[in-house]
């Protein structure tokens, strides 16, 4: 009897130990980063744009100055049919759903001067987007879509609670690779950065070491609670692992402005 109980107890302990080991191995893989990506990647969209330019095809255009060009234009339009060539410039970027009624935040340079804006959701559904608000100073833009299905908007972090050294996750579409993920830390807050060519000064930026590439612009920078810390903006090309995001503080300001305009009846669902 004693032997049977001992064998049964040993078997029970082995089974429990194996189960615990399996559970532990599974939990080790189920990191906070994995959870954030799984829960919030559907809130990040791909934005593609198209800008149409028409080039006048005249052999002497711009050859003799604006005064002659104006006269030449009048003569051509009266006597011949002007031939126009259409050029379509395409661009890519990312965006983040910040309101359930179809408001998406991105960078202004992603949608600037676009003739058409297309929003591609994580499930592959594509719909037309309309730029409703734009802030060139902070390089922010708000795009609105008619939701093709129920949308999941991100939660906005408290800008005063962003911590230097905390882990953050970037989700975007670099080079058109949808929902690409990189992780890093917050390297600094309230940074100012001037563009080398234009010397345009950006203020109150979040500095991070996450990877940002062409097409990542407008993507989400999330903390481990899945809250939006900022919108990815740019990386310093000559440096290593120095990137910037527009602070959630300015995103909140833009969203509050949208809500106030909506209450006035400026926007419809």
Catalytic residue flag (residue 217): yes
The DSSP symbol for 12 reads H
Contacts of 141 by beta carbon, 8 Å cutoff, 6+ apart: 105, 106, 107, 108, 110, 111, 112, 131, 133, 134, 135
Q: Are 231 and 96 in contact (CB under 8 A)?
A: yes
Tell me the β-bridge partners of 232.
245
On whether the CB atoms of residues 119 and 108 are closer than 8 A, the answer is no
Residue 106 near residue 129, CB atoms below 8 Å: no
* CA 159 from centroid of its chain's CA atoms: 18
- Structure tokens given for 253: 């300001």
Question: Active-site residue among 101, 109, 122, 253?
Answer: 109
Angle at 105 between CA 99 and CA 107, to 5 degrees: 180
DSSP 93: E
Catalytic residue among 138, 139, 187, 209: 139
- 170 belongs to the catalytic site: no
Q: Which two tokens stand for residue 242?
A: 């120095």
* Structure token digits, residue 151: 């949308």
Annotated catalytic, 139?
yes
Two tokens, residue 118: 């297309």
Q: What element of type H or E holds 158? A: none
Enumerate the β-bridge partners of residue 116: 50
Q: Which of 170, 187, 217, 247 is catalytic?
A: 217
Residues with catalytic function: 109, 139, 217
């Amino acid at each position: 009897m004693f032997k049977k109980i001992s064998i049964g107890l040993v078997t029970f302990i082995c089974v429990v130990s194996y189960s615990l080991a399996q559970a532990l191995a599974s939990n080790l893989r189920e990191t906070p980063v994995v959870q954030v990506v799984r829960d919030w990647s559907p809130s990040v969209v791909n934005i593609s744009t198209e800008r149409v330019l028409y080039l006048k095809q005249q052999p002497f255009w711009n050859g003799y100055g604006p005064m002659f060009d104006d006269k030449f234009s009048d003569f051509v339009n009266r006597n011949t049919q002007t031939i126009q060539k259409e050029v379509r410039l395409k661009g890519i970027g990312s965006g983040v759903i910040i309101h359930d009624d179809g408001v998406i935040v991105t960078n202004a340079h992603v949608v600037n001067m676009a003739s058409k804006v297309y929003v591609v959701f994580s499930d592959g559904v594509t719909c037309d987007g309309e730029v409703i608000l734009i802030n060139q100073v902070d390089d922010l833009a708000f795009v609105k879509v008619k939701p093709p299905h129920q949308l999941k908007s991100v939660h906005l972090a408290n800008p005063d609670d962003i911590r230097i050294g905390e882990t953050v996750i970037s989700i975007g579409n670099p080079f058109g690779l949808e929902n690409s993920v990189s992780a890093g830390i917050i390297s600094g807050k309230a940074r100012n950065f001037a563009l080398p060519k234009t010397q345009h000064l950006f203020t109150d930026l979040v500095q991070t070491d996450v990877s940002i590439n062409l097409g990542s612009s407008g993507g989400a920078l999330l903390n481990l609670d899945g809250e939006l810390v900022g919108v990815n903006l740019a990386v310093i090309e000559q440096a290593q692992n120095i990137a910037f995001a527009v602070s959630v503080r300015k995103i909140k300001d833009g969203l509050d402005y949208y809500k106030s305009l909506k209450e006035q009846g400026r926007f419809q669902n």
